A and B are shown apart, each in its own frame.
Chain A
């Protein structure tokens, strides 16, 4: 059943080879990613039904032997957290298609391959296949940025790929370490829980955590993010910040924490300090940027830093918040990038000093941007608030001084976030129209509106009804029994 999620983008990709005709390409990708969203919802429903009947950690599981000598299986299964990640990916991927309306066939071929990697990654239970899909998701990024990007695209694509490959190298070492120290009988995550000797956890945990952390924008390995996002085309930025960065957080949780909880406990303070730095550092970094995409990239460093921060708090509340924050950040940042794409395609600049008064010219896109801003600065009723509050309350459950101080440091980011969001909104949307040429600009087209409306609907849904996702997440965490 779960394999369908990988097959749909794969078949879409193959179908694209039939013709280069723009109408045909659009029909195929919209149908393909629409079907993917439907399939994701079906998976979610099936999961909820199965959840009521079973207390297994992973449901809808399937397992095929792939390469017996090394115990490599194609093993899939989901819990509540991966189901939510799948839904997030499907929503962002579909809206990304609408934001890439004018792109050519070859772009979408790589885009589909990226989706194959993402969905395969989230359903994998086998470390080897998981790693495989992880790489499948990363490689297309190089081409998507290097070929269809803007600005310093070759440099950015190269930097992004090399840094993430560096992370992968650590990761591969870590995975091999897990495999051999646990007795070399299985690569399946569910079988590996509790089998890694304490002495080895100490060196494997940092490798895996940093390996995934590079993609989760862990300070100081986050510098691919500003350049990468700035150079990437709109929909790639959306997918990258919205979904790919979640691969990092998800991996940290699924592999590093749940397989090596003891080492996580012992070493979490080091990484808590690093992620605590990420949270405020990203926020302060965003305050003085002048390129819209740089602002958003630093903002992502801050928000994704909070995800890793919360994961390292190692309790159910904070980790529930971490997953909510992943969803929230994924939706919100995709919305931001899609709107930045709308502005950029018309004004041909992303420099906030050259824009102004766009609210009057492009009211729809501007109002959406304000909503995204509010979600980012954690306004109640939107998804950011519930995620952040859950994280802060969870972090505060620890009574030791270090975690208290770090939590207070992290909470200060809500003020700094307000500063850079309002500064940006004030500069580009409010005030008089700076450039007379901008008076002639058109507002968002229908496909751009679809993208924004769908994302806002999801943000509001989580913000108004947080216990829906919160319950799914905390139940899954309880079934994992790692705390």
Chain B
């Protein structure tokens, strides 16, 4: 359906594209959204703005589905912006809390900045292919020439994807986005919206492959770096939602690497499995937060006795994300490791390290929440059925989704991955399951690095410096000053100059008949003289 025609060749259509990729994504969005909505009925009970919450969730799901079924890149851009806006509104749901407001602004502006790249990429791409349509763009004989233009276009489109999917250095908005209600984090900032970047690149993959292979290399390295970077930060965070946020960044980076090494199937498979276990982790975290009224790990501990269902489902998700068979994460992670191994040993090494780190920080989280000493004024209680049923459903999905795609498992690589994970789990167990001074000693030895990591390597500060000093202090303030004093000053000077000139010549028309007469006579003489001289 044609929605808006720009010129003879370019027009935005609104349509529905169903292919294996979009159907997979629709399943993810549909299932996770349903679980989140059910969970939210319990979680948000009694909150101010209950109706507004579900209205905004509806807006988000509408936009996300529109994005998934887009038939052309401009339709995707339209819904891309809409999911950004609904994400903004949901992060800022608790709008009376300044932190939530700041976080929502940050999320919107950072992704907007990335979308600027996306938009320019679309403009470049469409101006020389003459189409927005995915089918035409990705056709085998697509009229796309390899060249700097294609590289620019695809690199800018990747910038859009990197913004939405929180790749370094555009990842800064995602951890702060955790200020939103926890079910929202589960839906938007773990399972669906943040993987839109992966989806976009998977959708456009043939174009990347034919026209801009260099950009794929860029994607690989950005992905590998982000995976490691985020995993290191995740180890040092103490807010459980922040840990999960960095974990999400790291796992999406995994998917990006898979795209970079040209294995779309592995990437989308991981997207699929990740959506369920990460949604489960977030909802589980939501149940925990609901019970203890805090996000901080230090306020938790020993919860396995109080919240058995949450405990078991959370454990399943942790095992899955760590890549322990037979949970779903094992299969999809193995696929990616295999693809990376055949492509680039360095990247493979990084991913293997990240797999170990992932297991470590997830089980650090797990042990600190559910094991160890506990001290509560009032014993926390298990969540009501309306919240635990979604957890159980997602846990079941986490157990079975690994088997939906028949995969060939390369046991050599798989065992390397599992060993890395087991090492991570054992270390976490040694450190956190029982009281131990090992973490403290380690922290003391690596004090500088640990400090930097827990401050997220000061990337936020760097961006803050850019916005504060450069945008506000360096451009906007001088512009405002220039406008008021130079431009407007010039206009005022013209005005006052005119007044002064009139004041100077005012005596000429002072109303004295005598002076008029003198002036008259003098003028006549002068003109006569001039006429004589000139003629």
Mark A residues whose CB is within 8 Å of B: 159, 162-163, 219-224, 226, 281, 284-285, 287-289, 316-317, 357, 359-360, 374, 377-381, 385-386, 389-390, 392-394, 396-397, 399, 407-408, 411-412, 414-416, 418-419, 422-423, 426, 429-432, 466-467, 470-471, 474
Assembly CA distance A480 to B480 (angstroms): 40
For window 1-49 of B, CB contacts with A under 8 Å fall at 2-7, 10, 12
Residue pair B477, A288 in contact (C-beta under 8 Å) = yes
B-chain residues with CB within 8 Å of residue A399 when the two chains form the complex: 127
A-chain residues with CB within 8 Å of residue B82 when the two chains form the complex: 379-381
Contacts A159-B495, A289-B480, A431-B101 given; indicate if A379 touches B81 (C-beta within 8 A).
yes
Assembly CA distance A188 to B468 (angstroms): 54
Residue pair A414, B112 in contact (C-beta under 8 Å) = yes
Assembly CA distance A412 to B475 (angstroms): 14
- B105 interface residue (CB < 8 Å to A): yes
B-chain residues with CB within 8 Å of residue A414 when the two chains form the complex: 112, 115-116, 119
Contacts A288-B476, A396-B127, A426-B105 given; indicate if A467 touches B85 (C-beta within 8 A).
no
- B199 interface residue (CB < 8 Å to A): no
Residue pair B4, A419 in contact (C-beta under 8 Å) = no
Q: Which residue in B115, B127, B476, B495 is a CB contact (below 8 Å) of A285?
A: B476
Q: Which residue in B6, B95, B104, B483 is a CB contact (below 8 Å) of A390?
A: B6
CB distance from A214 to the nearest CB of B (A): 11
Assembly CA distance A393 to B122 (angstroms): 9
Say whether chain A's binding surface is mostly helix, strand, loop, or mixed: helix
Contacts A415-B116, A418-B109 given; indicate if A281 touches B479 (C-beta within 8 A).
yes
Residue pair A380, B78 in contact (C-beta under 8 Å) = yes
Residue pair B108, A422 in contact (C-beta under 8 Å) = yes
- B143 interface residue (CB < 8 Å to A): no
CB distance from B15 to the nearest CB of A (A): 15
Contacts A162-B495, A423-B105, A426-B101 given; indicate if A396 touches B123 (C-beta within 8 A).
yes
Assembly CA distance A393 to B8 (angstroms): 12
CB distance from A298 to the nearest CB of B (A): 8
| Interface-central residue, B6, B92, B475, by most chain A CB under 10 Å | B6
Residue pair A287, B476 in contact (C-beta under 8 Å) = yes
Given contacts A377-B112, A422-B105, A431-B97, 11 further A-B pairs with CB under 8 A are A223-B491, A287-B472, A390-B4, A393-B7, A418-B112, A430-B96, A430-B101, A431-B95, A431-B101, A467-B2, A470-B4
Assembly CA distance A340 to B469 (angstroms): 29
Nearest CB to that of B7 among chain A residues?
A: A317
Contacts A430-B95, A431-B96 given; indicate if A393 touches B10 (C-beta within 8 A).
yes
CB distance from B121 to the nearest CB of A (A): 11
CB distance from B449 to the nearest CB of A (A): 34
CB distance from B357 to the nearest CB of A (A): 34
Task: Count CB-based A-B contacts (< 8 Å).
Answer: 131
- B145 interface residue (CB < 8 Å to A): no
For window 72-125 of B, CB contacts with A under 8 Å fall at 74, 77-79, 81-82, 85, 88, 92, 95-98, 101-102, 104-105, 108-109, 112-113, 115-116, 119-120, 123-124
CB distance from B143 to the nearest CB of A (A): 16
B-chain residues with CB within 8 Å of residue A430 when the two chains form the complex: 92, 95-96, 98, 101
Nearest CB to that of A474 among chain B residues?
A: B5
Residue pair B4, A386 in contact (C-beta under 8 Å) = yes
Residue pair B101, A285 in contact (C-beta under 8 Å) = no
Total interface residues on B, CB under 8 Å, equals 52
Assembly CA distance A284 to B3 (angstroms): 32
Residue pair B472, A466 in contact (C-beta under 8 Å) = no
8 nearest A-B pairs in the assembled complex, by CB-CB distance = A287-B476, A380-B78, A223-B488, A430-B95, A430-B101, A288-B476, A396-B123, A284-B479
B-chain residues with CB within 8 Å of residue A359 when the two chains form the complex: 95
- B487 interface residue (CB < 8 Å to A): yes
- B426 interface residue (CB < 8 Å to A): no
Assembly CA distance A471 to B3 (angstroms): 11
23 contacts between A and B (CB under 8 A): A220-B487, A221-B491, A284-B475, A287-B471, A288-B480, A317-B6, A374-B85, A377-B112, A379-B82, A380-B77, A385-B78, A389-B12, A393-B7, A394-B6, A411-B120, A415-B109, A415-B116, A422-B108, A426-B104, A430-B92, A430-B96, A431-B97, A431-B98
| Interface-central residue, A159, A431, A466, by most chain B CB under 10 Å | A431
Assembly CA distance A423 to B490 (angstroms): 30
Residue pair B119, A411 in contact (C-beta under 8 Å) = yes
Contacts A381-B82, A408-B120, A415-B113 given; indicate if A470 touches B5 (C-beta within 8 A).
yes
Assembly CA distance A38 to B61 (angstroms): 39
Residue pair B491, A163 in contact (C-beta under 8 Å) = yes
B-chain residues with CB within 8 Å of residue A393 when the two chains form the complex: 6-7, 10, 123, 126
Nearest CB to that of A393 among chain B residues?
A: B6
CB distance from A57 to the nearest CB of B (A): 21
Residue pair B81, A385 in contact (C-beta under 8 Å) = yes
Residue pair A397, B127 in contact (C-beta under 8 Å) = yes
B-chain residues with CB within 8 Å of residue A419 when the two chains form the complex: 109, 467, 471
Residue pair A392, B483 in contact (C-beta under 8 Å) = no
B-chain residues with CB within 8 Å of residue A426 when the two chains form the complex: 101-102, 104-105
Assembly CA distance A367 to B104 (angstroms): 16
Q: What 0/1 pattern do residues 49 to 63 of B give for CB contact below 8 A with A?
A: 000000000000000
Assembly CA distance A284 to B116 (angstroms): 16
A-chain residues with CB within 8 Å of residue B467 when the two chains form the complex: 419
Contacts A159-B491, A380-B82 given; indicate if A429 touches B95 (C-beta within 8 A).
yes
Contacts A284-B475, A397-B127 given; indicate if A360 touches B96 (C-beta within 8 A).
yes
B-chain residues with CB within 8 Å of residue A397 when the two chains form the complex: 7, 127
Assembly CA distance A390 to B5 (angstroms): 9
A-chain residues with CB within 8 Å of residue B490 when the two chains form the complex: 220
